[in-house]
Amino acid sequence: MKILTINAGSSSMKFSIFELPEEKELINGYFQRIGLDGSFYDVKINGEKLHRDIDLPNHLVALECIKKEIIELGVVKSLDEIDGIGHRLVHGGETYKESVLIDDDVLTTCEKYKKLAKLHMPAMLSCIEASKSAFKDTPMVAVFDTAFHQSMEPVNFMYAIPYSWYENYGVRKYGFHGTSHRYINSRIKEILGKDNLKVISCHIGSGASLCAIDNDKVVDTTMGFSPMTGVMMGTRPGDVDPSIIEYMMDEAGMTMEEVMTTLNKHSGLEGICGKSDSRDVEDGINAGDEKCKLAQDMYTRRVANYIAQYNNLLNGADVIVLTAGLGENSKQTRIDILEKVSSLGIEIDKELNDFRGEERCITTETSKIPVWVVPTNEELMIAKDTYNLVK
């Protein structure tokens, strides 16, 4: 089967086509600046990268480009060869604990979750509608970021707020990056050849979250009602006192929207040192920039604190996995995090750690908890779920 995966943002869209059950990726691409000036997309096939500058007024045009590319590049001879389409949806609330075939009832239910993810859900749902027009009669599957976390117990997903807020308005911890954490949990079991593992999955990139997993069940995760909370990120602050919002409105004359935009888009690493990309932060550190050093110390301290907390919550983790942009590629960030949890008996092997983007254990044989780097693959997880539901 050939499965198309779609990961839509408000002005971007990633896609891949996998051959399943072989799990072979045939092509992938990334559309950027959809609906904006200067739009373009890149396609990767057979190790070659192709760049296209093109006006992309909406996601439907992007989907038409996919149809054109996969025919012209010989990925398929006919669009009928696409057996299913998997869509990433950031929010499924408490309704969806696993991926589902998309029908009118699913779309109606997901409309309710727009208010819980205003930045992402509208674009994702509009992309599903566009896909229905672009790929008529092809079955589609919704894969939810929140689904994996629905195994959390109330003691960990409830906030200490009036219980009626949860009952009437759905205010609780939902967690995100669930597809990535689920992939990491599945993959590390394959690598170690073990089931019933206690895993601390660390998805650390521009967006970042940690997840404590016990025998395939999420015990706790760092992101909460929204993706803003938990550890510090590229442009988000992580855990922050909500009283700051009212204070800045009063003292700086900011509107609620201005404060929330600042917290979502101009905080985190960028807020401290003016750089949201960790590579620029590391360059700043090497150039002697004290604010970049502070930002790195803050980021790695917060990740380390959650690792220690989740190790305690799991009564001792069997393995820690680092993934996503920083986890996979920044050897210095890995060192900075793991040195801050040396009290757990973790011993990093700096020679083993000297690499980028591979599956590898980076701790010594005497380390009390092994630490692995495992590149995440959310697209493959989406494709596998789609394959299993449509086959």
Residue positions annotated with a catalytic role: 145
Q: Please, what is the angle between helix 178-192 and helix 378-390, to 10°? A: 90
- Cβ–Cβ < 8 Å for 323, 305: no
What's the longest Cα–Cα distance across the chain?
A: 62
Identity at 291, one-letter amino acid code: K
Q: Is the dihedral of CA 155, 160, 162, 166 positive or negative?
A: negative
Phi/psi at 356 (nearest 5 deg)? -135, 140
How far apart are the C-alpha atoms of 61 and 63, rounded to whole Å? 5
Coil vs helix vs strand at 44: strand
- 75, 92, 138, 231 from 224: Cα distances, Å: 40, 14, 34, 11
| CA nearest to 211, candidates 325, 324, 81, 45 | 324
Give the DSSP H or E segment for 272. helix 268-273
Stated as kind and residue range, the H or E segment containing 152 is none
**Rounded to the nearest 5 degrees, what angle is found at the Cα of 51, between the Cα atoms of 49 and 56?**
135
Q: Which amino acid is at 74?
A: G
Half-sphere exposure of 220 toward its Cβ, with a 13 Å CA cutoff?
15
